[in-house]
Amino acid sequence: MTDSTILFRDALQSIFGPLDFLPVPDGAIHRFRVPDDKPGTLNGWYVLYLDGIASGAFGSWKTNRSSAWSSRIHVDYREAEQVRQHIEQARRQREAEQQLRQLKTASLAQRWWRDAHPADPDHAYLIAKGVRVHSLRQRGDELLVPLYSDGVLANLQRIAPDGGKRFLFGGRINGTYSPLGRITPGKPLCICEGWATGATLHEIGYTVACAMNAGNLKSVAMVLKAEHRNIDIIIAGDDDRRTESNPGRTAANAAATAVGGLVAFPDWPDSAPDTLTDFNDLYRWETDYANE
């Protein structure tokens, strides 16, 4: 154990919290469980080199964030170049590992999707959201929402009867989307967050791409705009009115700006509770209100 190894662990702990291991300084990528993550998960990663200036990198597969580290400031160009090469090598290792994980998950997703049966129209989640099955499949009691990248099934979102949602571990999310309808020249394309919101919009006539979360809206919008340059895009955003800085509105506006598109949010009646956030919420509230 060296002082540099301890310093590197201190850097990891400043981000992730207390760790129960010492990093291995062998220049290879290592995975570890991040404190507070689910048991059995290995979302953290690190690479540590001790030749020359001790340096390395670390991050999280879950958050897709990474940091570079060195034990001290370099004193000349030679040392600076060595650190740069170490960090670049760590980046390549991380990307290779990530690509391998994503390929394995895509293979699993394709196998699950092939073996699943059409979703039950009476699935509790579909009933709660008031939407039809569309193209969803079902495995056990979980709905399977397909996520595509370049026309290839890359991941699945699993939706439990109580509405709990999980992606397949290790799969690609950024830039993937779940389509509802066929993109057609002259017809606008709506991009939204959740699948139920997308189903609601599709059922009133829109072609929709579901990005699954606010952080993915911009990536999906840019991917689809690059593939369909003449299509008009509408970002159908969530309105997180009770959340500080309203991340749904912020992300939707940013996505629309990035592709020169329009943005739309639910038009809340004065009597609508502020717990409602998306177009499916509005649809269900108006349906219940009309039936009272």
Q: What is the pLDDT of residue 33?
A: 92
pLDDT (tens, 9 = 90+) of the chain, 292 residues, equals: 578 899 999 999 999 999 989 999 988 889 999 998 888 888 899 999 888 788 888 999 888 788 888 888 766 677 777 777 888 887 788 788 888 889 999 999 999 999 999 999 999 999 999 999 999 999 999 999 999 999 999 999 999 999 999 999 889 999 999 999 999 988 999 999 999 999 999 999 999 999 999 999 999 999 999 999 999 999 999 999 999 999 999 999 999 999 999 999 999 999 999 999 999 999 999 988 656 5
Distance of alpha carbon 125 from alpha carbon 197, whole angstroms: 13
DSSP state of 52: S
Pair 86, 49: CB distance under 8 Å: yes
Residue 109 one-letter amino acid: A
**Long-range contacts at 272-275 (CB < 8 A, ≥ 24 apart):** 274/241, 274/242, 275/242
Is-contact 46 32, C-beta < 8 A?
yes
Domain locations in the chain as residue ranges: 3-105, 116-291
**Per residue in 258-285, is it b (16+ CB within 10 Å) or e — as a string?**
bbebebbbbebeeeeeeebbbbbbbbbb
3-class SS of residue 4: helix
For the record, the structure tokens of 165 come out as 């949602």
